[in-house]
Amino acid sequence: MKYPLLKASPLSNKSGGCLLLLLSFFITAAQAQTAQQAFRERQQAHNLVAAAHPSTSAMPVLAALDISKPALVDDLLDDYLSSDKADFTLIKLIRVLNLSDEYDLQITSAISASGVPLWLESGEQNYIYWSENHMIMWLSSAWLLDEYHNKATDSLMRQRLVHFLELKNSYGFYEFLSPNYFPYTMSALLNLADFSRDQTIKALATAAVKRLLTEVLRATNDLGVFFPAAGRSNTGKYLNAYTANHSKVINVLTGLGQTPDSASDGSAFISTTDVDMTSVINSWSAVENMSIANGHSITSPVNNSLSRQDKVLFQWSFGGYFHPDTWSDTFWGIDDYYSLEQHQSFKDVATPLRILGKNLTPTFTRGSNLAGLNVDIYKNNSVVLSSLENHYGGYMGFQTWPWVATVEDIAIWSQSGEVKSFNSRGSQTNNSHLPKVIQQDNLLMAIYWPNSEINAGDLFGPLDTDVSLHWPTEKFDETRENGRWIIGRKNDSYIAVFRGCSSKINGEYGCEGNRGRQLWGAYVGNSNTHGNYQNFVNSIDNASYYNSLDFHFSCFCNRYHVRITVDGNKIDHYWND
Q: Which of these, 167, 114, 175, 181, lies nearest to 145 by C-alpha position?
A: 114
Q: Identify the domain boundary among 367, 398, 417.
A: 367
- So what's the pLDDT on residue 9? 43
Q: Which of these, 54, 536, 435, lies nearest to 262 by C-alpha position?
A: 54
- So what's the pLDDT on residue 436? 96
Q: Flag whether 35 is in a domain.
A: yes
Q: Flag whether 428 is in a domain.
A: yes
For the chain, list residues with pLDDT below 50. Answer: 1, 3-23, 25-31
β-strand partners of 293 = 374
Indicate whether 335 and 410 sit together in one domain.
no
Q: Flag whether 312 is in a domain.
A: yes
Rounded to 10 deg, the angle between the 104-114 and 132-149 helix axes is: 120
Q: Flag whether 377 is in a domain.
A: no
Indicate whether 240 and 109 sit together in one domain.
yes
Indicate whether 407 and 511 sit together in one domain.
yes
Indicate whether 118 and 66 sit together in one domain.
yes
Q: Considering its fold, how many domains does the chain have in total?
A: 3
Q: Flag whether 493 is in a domain.
A: yes
Given a contact cutoff of 8 angstroms between Cβ atoms, the answer to whether 309 and 337 are in contact is yes
Question: What letter would DSSP give residue 300?
Answer: -
Indicate whether 46 and 112 sit together in one domain.
yes
Indicate whether 362 and 249 sit together in one domain.
no
Which strands make up the sheet holding 569-576, listed edge to edge? 544-552, 557-566, 569-576
- So what's the pLDDT on residue 552? 81
Q: Flag whether 24 is in a domain.
A: yes
- So what's the pLDDT on residue 359? 58
Domain range for residue 175? 4-284
Q: What does the buried/exposed string (b/e) look like for 236-273 if buried means 16 or more CB atoms within 10 Å of the residue's CB?
A: ebbbebbebbbbbbbbbbbbbbeebebbbbbbbbbbbb
Question: What letter would DSSP give residue 170?
Answer: H
Given a contact cutoff of 8 angstroms between Cβ atoms, the answer to whether 146 and 364 are in contact is no
Backbone angles phi, psi at 239, to 5 degrees: -105, -20
Indicate whether 316 and 223 sit together in one domain.
no
Q: Which of these, 326, 324, 90, 107, lies nearest to 191 by C-alpha position?
A: 90
The predicted-structure confidence for 226-272, as pLDDT tens digits, reads as follows: 999 998 888 889 998 999 999 999 999 999 999 999 999 999 999 99
Report the 10 Å Cβ neighbour count for 478.
Answer: 10
Question: What letter would DSSP give residue 466?
Answer: -
- So what's the pLDDT on residue 460? 61
Q: Identify the domain boundary among 250, 284, 318.
A: 284
Q: Flag whether 290 is in a domain.
A: no
Indicate whether 363 and 389 sit together in one domain.
no
Alpha-carbon gap, residue 16 to 477, rounded angstroms: 49
Report the 10 Å Cβ neighbour count for 119.
Answer: 18
Contacts 24+ apart (CB under 8 A), 449-452: 449/393, 449/394, 449/516, 449/517, 449/518, 449/560, 449/575, 449/577, 450/394, 450/416, 450/513, 451/363, 451/394, 451/395
SS3 131: coil
Indicate whether 256 and 359 sit together in one domain.
no
Residue 197 burial (C-beta neighbours within 10 Å; 0-12, 13-18, 19+): exposed
Q: Flag whether 334 is in a domain.
A: yes
Alpha-carbon gap, residue 432 to 398, rounded angstroms: 9
Tell whether the torsion through CA atoms of 186, 187, 189 and 190 is positive or negative.
positive
Q: Which of these, 514, 436, 513, lies nearest to 468 by C-alpha position?
A: 513
Residue 196's identity, in one-letter code, is S
Indicate whether 225 and 172 sit together in one domain.
yes
SS3 54: coil
Indicate whether 451 and 534 sit together in one domain.
yes
The predicted-structure confidence for 152-201, as pLDDT tens digits, reads as follows: 778 899 999 999 999 999 999 999 999 999 999 999 999 999 999 999 99
Alpha-carbon gap, residue 118 to 93, rounded angstroms: 14
Residue 407 to residues 86, 221, 228, 324, 496, Cα–Cα distance (Å): 36, 9, 12, 39, 10
Given a contact cutoff of 8 angstroms between Cβ atoms, the answer to whether 1 and 12 are in contact is yes
Within 3-131, residue ranges assigned H as helices are: 17-29, 35-52, 59-64, 70-82, 86-99, 104-114
Indicate whether this model's pTM tops 0.85.
yes
Indicate whether 537 and 511 sit together in one domain.
yes
Q: Identify the domain boundary among 338, 367, 396.
A: 367
